[in-house]
Amino acid sequence: MCHRPTRAIVDLDAIRHNVGVVRRHVGPRCRIAAVVKADGYGHGALEVARAVLDAGSTMLCVALPEEGVALRQRFPDAPILVLGTILPSQAGTVANSGLTQTVDDDASLSRLDSAAALCGRPARVHLKIDTGMSRLGVEPEDAVRFMRRAREHRHIEVEGVYSHFATSEEPDQTFARRQLERFGATVAELEQDGFTFELTHMANSAAVLSIPESHLDMVRTGIILYGLRPAPHLGDDLRPAMTVVSQVTKLRTLPAGTPVSYGATYVTERARRIATIPMGYADGYRRGLSNRFHVLIRGQQAPVVGRVCMDMFMVDVSEVSGVEKGDEALILGKKGSDHLPAEEMAQTLHTIPYEVVTGITRRVPRTYMN
């Protein structure tokens, strides 16, 4: 079997450690729902799911029904909440797989009820309230009417009610606290109308760390499970779980005046030693890093020179002593004493670390360590 030199190493012990960090923040009674959508934020949904369930998470969260179906095949008894709303045509998939579905419209509710009747078991749902994200959810003033409608369906079991923060990672939490107050008022109104819920939840990763009054019955933890900070001022005790490495596959000394890569955006000013790394934007090493970032080889920075290609990029190793073909290049994460955090790459790309790790494509093989 051919082993590609570029690979992502996922530390499952780090993920278990991060579940423990969440537990310390939320206390023993609050449930932990682990968000493993987008293939576990690029880390591998099945492997991450097993680790977080072992570490004490009680629910898995996905964005799409098909993500839930893949998990259900491996975890037949785990509660799996679909965070995205669905088209009515997807109701059968949800009901047949025993997924718990987010609802915020009448048509999907009716189709879920019909699909559940055919399955012979109730469909569990969570009502989503839009408190300020303006993405999904029932408007707070429409929540009671919607729940009365849900109560008419014999095969629907409303297990929970929740909302989602839009700004909980910001230092100024004025808007986040306004959202929390709006959610609390809506839940109180529903309870006054006779509705009860097993689970109320609102806290995402940032709120777990910064808004303890939002923990409620359950928290939904995403990025912090993977050891990445939702904001620079949050998450000092997290352990990043993903490390991406590659190897030098070509070395050459180029004379002054030599262009490197597409578009000749980099031209050597003097003789330089250039190494080729077999990773490119098809693997998630973004083109926006061209001439702007670096890798670590033998513990030293080797700057990216020229444009990142689909399958390769080049680095200048002129200042790194003794580089040889086959030397390891740290692309992302931590290896020994070398550290190149996803947050640093994200800052260079003017984005967030979420996009960095989820962007490492499946063409890069994952290996797992405990």
368 flagged as catalytic: no
- Answer whether 207's CB lies under 8 Å from 168's CB: yes
Q: How far apart are CA 240 and CA 2, in angstroms?
A: 28
262 flagged as catalytic: yes
Question: Quick one: which of 55, 50, 26 has its CA closest to 40?
Answer: 50
DSSP assignment, residue 122?
P
Q: How far apart are CA 300 and CA 162, in angstroms?
A: 47
**Which of 128, 162, 226, 262 is labelled catalytic?**
262
Question: Quick one: which of 152, 103, 110 has its CA closest to 124?
Answer: 103
Q: How far apart are CA 112 and CA 106, in angstroms?
A: 10
Question: Quick one: which of 137, 147, 152 has its CA closest to 191?
Answer: 147
Question: Quick one: which of 27, 42, 38, 89 has its CA closest to 60?
Answer: 38
**Token digits of residue 117:** 């009747």
**Which of 37, 41, 162, 281 is labelled catalytic?**
37
Q: How far apart are CA 3 and CA 16, in angstroms?
A: 28
Catalytic (active-site) positions:
37, 262
